[in-house]
Amino acid sequence: MDRMFYGCSKLTDLDLSSFNTSNVTNMSAIFRGCSRLKELDLSSFNTGMLQKATGMFGGCSSLTTLDLSMLDFKNVYQVSDMTKQGGSYGAMFDNCSSLVSLKLPQFSDIITNFSDMFCNCSSLTSLDLSSMNTSRALYMSDMFDGCRSLTSLDLSSFETSHVREMSYMFAFCDKLTSLNMSSFDTGRVTDMNGIFQSSHNLANLTIGENFVFVGSEYNLPSGTWYASDGTAYTSDGTTCTIPSNKADTYTRR
């Protein structure tokens, strides 16, 4: 079912209730570019054998709600093929710009690439990520880039000890004020460029003892950031004086 409805940009309705998907292993880009599709019922899908969901809903820019909580993703190992050089299929939800409600499946622990996963999901106001398993993740670049309506994000359940790339992870999250990264271990991260770029309203940042700022252009919003004990640190909009490996919630005011 790889690219089955790819680019069906005039499709507005789709009845999939008669489909037998019990042996399907690849649904990459199956609905990618179905830009007029406003709703999609996948409750009849059997995804027990599914391995690839790369770019599955990418570019479904008219979808407003999507419930995937009933799907079996225990064997899925690929949801994105995005790299710094681009990708062939994209990421699972990239450019779902009208999506306001998203219920995720229980993800497997074998996914390594989450880059661009929610990139330009600009209408999402909240996101429950408790079903995501990032224990083997290597790439998270642009993961929430362009999530312009999110106001808070709790990533305290994320395991990031193997992650290498986090560039632009929260870039252009215009309304994001609170971010919990308390579980983040960035010891292996080599690229954090622009991780907070243009997220100008970020005012509460929680980091843990294994969080290290990497590089010199991570773009934490400029201003004075206060630790819980009142100690003041500064950011010039590019780098900051907040110490690495010091667990706390830092507040900008």
Please list the pLDDT of the chain residue by residue as tens digits (253 residues).
Answer: 999 999 999 999 999 999 999 999 999 999 999 999 999 999 999 999 999 999 999 999 999 999 999 999 999 999 999 988 888 899 999 999 999 999 999 999 999 999 999 999 999 999 999 999 999 999 999 999 999 999 999 999 999 999 999 999 999 999 999 999 999 999 999 999 999 999 999 999 999 999 999 999 999 999 999 999 999 999 999 999 999 999 999 999 9
Question: What six digits make up the tokens of 209?
Answer: 């003892």
Q: What is the pTM of this model?
A: 0.96
Buried b (16+ CB within 10 A) or exposed e, 31-51: bbbbbebeebebeebebeebb
Amino acid, res. 59: G
**Closest C-alpha among 215, 207, 109, 120 to residue 162:** 109
Token reading at 230:
């009142």
Question: Residue 197, exposed/middle/buried by CB under 10 A (0-12, 13-18, 19+)?
Answer: buried
CB within 8 A of 27, min separation 6: which ones?
1, 2, 4, 21, 47, 50, 52, 53, 56
List C-alpha distances in Å: 196 to 5, 14, 25, 201: 35, 38, 36, 10
Tell me the DSSP string of 175-236: T--EEEETT---TT--B-TTTTTT-TT--EEEE-TT----SS---PPSEEEE-TT--EEEE-
Question: What stretch of H or E contains 152?
Answer: strand 152-154
Q: What tokens does 217 get? A: 């252009």
State the CB neighbour count (10 A cutoff) for residue 153.
Answer: 20
